[in-house]
């Protein structure tokens, strides 16, 4: 799980692995595509330095 600040609902939410819809290798790490609690599709690049996402487990 990790936290993510959604660009659609403007909330920081805990994202569970069951919400993940895809993984893809990109230049700067792994792109994790998931569905926010509000229903919006979001993407987080794991391995990239980011201020809006932190790995929780």
Domain ranges of the chain: 2-48
Q: Has this prediction a pTM greater than 0.85?
A: no
Closest among 50, 48, 38 to 15, alpha carbons compared: 38
CA dihedral sign of residues 44, 10, 37, 57: positive
The C-alpha atoms of residue 24 and residue 45 are separated, in whole angstroms, by 9
DSSP secondary structure string, 18-55?
Answer: GGEEEEEEETTEEEEEEE-TTS-EEEEEETS--SSEEE
- pLDDT digit string, tens, across residues 30-55: 999 999 999 999 999 887 555 555 65
The label of the residue with tokens 């690049």 reads 45
């Amino acid at each position: 799980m990790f936290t993510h600040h959604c660009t659609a609902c403007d909330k920081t939410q805990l994202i569970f692995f069951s919400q993940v819809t895809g993984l893809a290798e990109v230049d700067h790490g792994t792109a994790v595509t998931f569905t926010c609690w509000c229903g919006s599709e979001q993407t987080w690049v794991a391995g990239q330095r980011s201020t809006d996402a932190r790995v929780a487990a």
